Structure 1
């Protein structure tokens, strides 16, 4: 299959502390010649200053000076690079267990996840945690990179044992495409170039895998959903009678003349025009930002949703949600939070904790109802007004939400509606 050069692949990297994520990304950038000359000179100077022999590849992603000085990566670092076959966006997420929330952030829009495993340690709790989050967020492809093969004498037996460990628990995950690659990020084996130290491995290198991976769009093309962000009422004489509803199409396709329903009111009308800065369109699709006018004068405001009449989302004040708690402060019993879902913002509370997920076994813990940082759990949420939604499995945009603390305005949780 001929790949479109402009096709963008978003992938996230995850693993335990010191598994070599930043070094791996540095190796990808360095060996694929995706480093600007001034970047290379700066990293070479920093490496020399620190007393390293050669280039410290991890510095290409550890962007903040204080993080570099600590020698760890503590936030999501984004990198962009291009090869003749494809464009890439990398989200490098931290390995510390207390930063699981950062992986949720980095992985939320990813097409693929690279999970690193230290060949000396094999599959550990963080490996399972990251694989579970990738599955929960419905990332379609996982590449398990068994790194530091140079420290286990490039052993085929070690590689096969770790593959077996991973496959033993990953059978419970929803991810269908899981691939395994034996690599040494430090030395470059099987990252961009094939390894001469592992003749027993006949598979593709990591970069070749990423360049040739087929990605289908995760945008729902069937269910037309248009969350209204603002109402346009120009003051100029020329557009005095113009009333447009502006926003970004969340999914599906809208055509001029479509019969639509406005939720939650339930009023129906037809699309009179679809307008952009460049002029009027006959059709528009996700993720385009447009202004829609209707044939009828309907009271519509921010947070309402325009949908096709014959294809409507669910609307309810009670939601079943898989929640990842992101904040250091635990959830307060029956406390009120601000819920943000598409362009809709209102008050909500966690009505009930149904169960927590045990990351080691993927079992459901029905007894522990406390919610702390990095907990992944299923809850019931009650909102003050009906929310228009699809399940996350059906629609990533209308199936996701965040909870915000009213007092601090900090995001405390990310959720996927089930």
Structure 2
């Protein structure tokens, strides 16, 4: 078990997404990574070469077709939904999320980014505006996706300046774009930023160093991804276990088995640990920890387990088992940042459902504190929210939530709002402060 915990602390698996504006080359970059790292099979290549939506000239394989799987995506040459792909190198395993660039599909980008360890922000050198004063005007979606990456606390940001072949691999253009992005990132508070020049279409600096950009002394993209340190901070956080299901025997057993099933979202637990049941506040002691492999003395974040307690308590789905020394905060009023994901604007007169961990209860938005201007990163007052708006709001919930600030523990600091009539997700939120 100790070996398993160490493995979870420094993971060999990296989850990353590609983000940026329309036609920046996100799907092509992923296709190039898969192709050059031998992450696709011969039958996939054959199917791509015969595709009726083949968008390249001559015999060149259209690598973006590897992730653009929907018929509408292939027809229009754009990404609409989030596409997940898996591949591995001798040094690491990867899960890639190819996210849409169009503003109307920002909600899909939020979905892909919510579990990411790293983000590759692609900047198309042919689309940015190089001003006469030496400055550079970045595209609004580049700024929007960078803002979302910051709000979601994605640890690593790679700025991939793409299509360098279109500017003859000019270092001056690259340096100007990187400087402009770093200045914008400073207003966000993004810290761990690594720039890299490349061409996804030709493969320059993707898997191997390009001799066309000898002035670049860093590693190619794949080596950079392999070297990123992914330390799971939630491993050292206070214990958090949202109860998904109460397991009972079939009624014919002599012993009264009662186990609480779920996934450990933060921290670790051992037999004998003292826990608190939230929101009721009851005390409990861990009697046993079960998995399909049998009984264990301890378990850590990321594992799905069944906990047995010494006490007979009223615990059900939606409750949280937390470490008794550092329990979660019970909130009925809270402040949160949200990305509005619905075509229907926010209606302050309506009630919504809030889904927080395994708990669902009624909620009402009581106020819009500020609306974030993506271009300037300034906040100002607003009377409503529409699709893709990012704002700080005040919420009141019907039943108290056992929650943490998103910056402290992502799993217990995140939530979604659901339309009570259509059952559609209308917003994704991150808890910031107790109101």
User: Please, which of 99, 110, 114 is the counterpart of residue 105 of structure 2?
Assistant: 99
Note if contact 1:22-1:92 (Cα within 8 Å) is conserved in structure 2: yes
Cα deviations across residues 284-316 of structure 1 (Å, max 9, x unaligned)?
A: 222222222222211111111111211111001
In the alignment, structure 1 residue 113 sits paired with structure 2 residue 119: yes
Note if contact 2:268-2:298 (Cα within 8 Å) is conserved in structure 1: yes
Aligned position for 2:33: 28
In the alignment, structure 1 residue 291 sits paired with structure 2 residue 291: no
Deviation, structure 1 residue 66: 2.7
TM-score, normalisation: structure 2: 0.92
Note if contact 2:267-2:300 (Cα within 8 Å) is conserved in structure 1: yes
User: Please, which of 236, 260, 276 is the counterpart of residue 291 of structure 2?
Assistant: 276
CA RMSD of aligned residues (A): 1.8
In the alignment, structure 1 residue 88 sits paired with structure 2 residue 94: yes
Aligned position for 1:139: 154
Please give the alpha-carbon distance, in whole angstroms, between the structure 1 residues aligned to 2:115 and 2:296.
28
In the alignment, structure 1 residue 381 sits paired with structure 2 residue 387: no
User: What secondary structure sits across from 1:170 in the alignment?
Assistant: helix
Deviation, structure 1 residue 237: 2.8
In the alignment, structure 1 residue 372 sits paired with structure 2 residue 377: no
In the alignment, structure 1 residue 405 sits paired with structure 2 residue 419: yes
In the alignment, structure 1 residue 396 sits paired with structure 2 residue 402: no
Cα deviations across residues 33-75 of structure 1 (Å, max 9, x unaligned)?
A: 2111110111111279656321111111111223201211111
Which segments of structure 1 move beyond 6 Å, counting only runs of 4 or more?
3-6
TM-score, normalisation: structure 1: 0.95
- Structure 2 counterparts to residues 323-342 of structure 1, below 5 A: 323-342=338-357
In the alignment, structure 1 residue 14 sits paired with structure 2 residue 57: no
Please give the alpha-carbon distance, in whole angstroms, between the structure 2 residues aligned to 1:6 and 1:322.
29
In the alignment, structure 1 residue 168 sits paired with structure 2 residue 183: yes
Residues 218, 99 of structure 1: alpha-carbon distance in 2 compared, 3 angstrom cutoff: farther
Deviation, structure 1 residue 183: 0.8
Can you give the 5+ residue segments of structure 1 that lack an aligned partner in the other structure? none
Aligned position for 1:352: 367
User: What secondary structure sits across from 2:234 in the alignment?
Assistant: coil
Aligned position for 1:75: 81
Please give the alpha-carbon distance, in whole angstroms, between the structure 1 residues aligned to 2:307 and 2:199.
53
Residues 51, 161 of structure 1: alpha-carbon distance in 2 compared, 3 angstrom cutoff: closer
Deviation, structure 1 residue 97: 1.1
Please give the alpha-carbon distance, in whole angstroms, between the structure 2 residues aligned to 1:67 and 1:277.
41
Can you give the 5+ residue segments of structure 2 that lack an aligned partner in the other structure? 1-6, 129-137
Note if contact 1:47-1:56 (Cα within 8 Å) is conserved in structure 2: no
Note if contact 1:342-1:398 (Cα within 8 Å) is conserved in structure 2: yes
Aligned position for 2:337: 322
Please give the alpha-carbon distance, in whole angstroms, between the structure 2 residues aligned to 1:411 and 1:158.
41
Deviation, structure 1 residue 215: 1.4
Moved more, 216-225 or 264-273: 216-225
Deviation, structure 1 residue 93: 0.6
Residues 229, 201 of structure 1: alpha-carbon distance in 2 compared, 3 angstrom cutoff: same
Please give the alpha-carbon distance, in whole angstroms, between the structure 1 residues aligned to 2:277 and 2:54.
62
Please give the alpha-carbon distance, in whole angstroms, between the structure 2 residues aligned to 1:345 and 1:239.
34
Aligned position for 1:210: 225
Deviation, structure 1 residue 172: 2.2
In the alignment, structure 1 residue 223 sits paired with structure 2 residue 228: no
Note if contact 2:53-2:74 (Cα within 8 Å) is conserved in structure 1: no
Aligned pair count reads: 415
User: What secondary structure sits across from 2:302 in the alignment?
Assistant: coil
